[in-house]
């Protein structure tokens, strides 16, 4: 019991990033690297939020426009945007976001549940909320992003 508590209370690190004016974050443990935008090769028959594939040192990496995935207007990708390369299960995926803003260290208990005002769609990705220095940051669970992706594609 005590052990479980210490694990839950151990501080975790998150990478915060911006999509438009809103801020989100993901667990740093799933982040492999952050790199600049390079033009992607379009994939036929792909959902709109899949921007295509790029070459990541020899691997073919699919790029997901996180804004479009969350229901925002599609990102107008240019050299200013960044790709956060994340590991989701056995796969590696690039998330297109506007900018990386912060690295946060916090304990799980500071994460508050996502308010009911958000749609079920948004809540399926944004699993919790953080309030830091007056900023509001949504905590994104990557597993649901990818699993919903496959559902939507099927």
Residue 53 found at the interface with other proteins (CB under 8 A) = yes
Residue 100 found at the interface with other proteins (CB under 8 A) = no
For other proteins, the binding residue among 11, 39, 71, 74 (CB under 8 A) is 39
- Shortest spacing between CB 63 and other proteins, in angstroms: 10
Sheet holding 22-27, edge to edge: 99-106, 12-19, 22-27, 135-140, 126-132
For other proteins, the binding residue among 60, 99, 131, 136 (CB under 8 A) is 60
Query: In Å, how far from its chain's centre is CA 44?
Result: 23
For other proteins, the binding residue among 15, 16, 31, 54 (CB under 8 A) is 54
- Whole-angstrom CA distances from 37 to 42, 75, 78, 128 are 14, 12, 7, 28
H/E run at residue 144:
helix 142-153
Residue 74 found at the interface with other proteins (CB under 8 A) = no
Which parts of this chain interact with other proteins (CB under 8 A)? 39-46, 50, 52-55, 57-62, 91-93, 150, 153
């Amino acid at each position: 019991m005590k052990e479980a508590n210490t694990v839950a209370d151990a501080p975790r690190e998150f990478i915060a990033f911006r999509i438009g004016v809103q801020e989100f974050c993901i667990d740093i443990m799933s982040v492999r690297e952050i790199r600049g935008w390079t033009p992607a090769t379009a994939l036929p028959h792909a959902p709109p939020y899949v921007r295509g594939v790029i070459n990541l040192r020899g691997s073919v990496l699919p790029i997901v426009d996180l804004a479009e995935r969350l229901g925002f207007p599609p990102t107008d990708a240019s050299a200013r945007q960044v790709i956060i390369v994340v590991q989701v299960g056995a796969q590696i995926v690039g998330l297109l976001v506007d900018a990386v803003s912060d690295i946060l260290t916090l304990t799980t208990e500071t994460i508050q549940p996502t308010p009911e005002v958000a749609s079920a769609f948004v809540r399926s990705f944004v699993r919790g909320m953080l309030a830091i220095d007056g900023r509001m940051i949504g905590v994104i669970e990557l597993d649901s992003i990818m699993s919903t992706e496959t559902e939507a594609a099927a």
